[in-house]
Structure 1
């Protein structure tokens, strides 16, 4: 058996789970109850490798090639975004964000994937950290169910 990227993702989640025993949690008020939650820096440390992994995944992974093609074809100047969006029939919000990112940061597909993964995973971190009784287990289920 070889250790693929999937194995490293699972190994990291278990290492992060062990670290949770040594890192103190903080008291927060959630829905009128005082609860213990992971601190935001600790929650971000647990999720950071997944942002990097998603940003640097290979073209052979899932629909990465389709997203790269869409990114290459989208508008790269602010003045052309309106015309570009008129040719889009669905998911206009996503394509608008993609065109804005390309206009601001340039033509790097890797940066596009890193920023996309960071945006999505930071929302998940915020939700899981705030509302989940067990942040680590919630992240584990997310990673294990997608790996």
Structure 2
């Protein structure tokens, strides 16, 4: 069994996934708009270019998402997408990209359990926890 996050966006899924692919060094393996789907007649003209489903592969990990109609959109709460970069330099680069235009909850810094740890919500509203594990 695999478990992976599925993120909803208020019309910014394509932009967010391109940003995540670039920032995390991943590859968008699938992205389909409502207008490209068999359900295209079920949505209005203003929703044709919104993402029905997208997947991003980062190593062995998958991140999926879509645009959700505004009446179904809610601010993410009660979770964070956690990533574990292998180096402090990668963590700093990723954290800086997520923090730009985002909201910092905890500055990236050394802790007693990690070489680097920080929490940030990116400009797309996704909450991230970045943790570089300390050597055992």
TM-score (norm 2): 0.26
Higher normalized strand content (fraction of residues): 2
Q: Which structure ranks higher in relative contact order (CA pairs < 8 Å, sequence separation ≥ 6)?
A: 1
TM-score (norm 1): 0.25
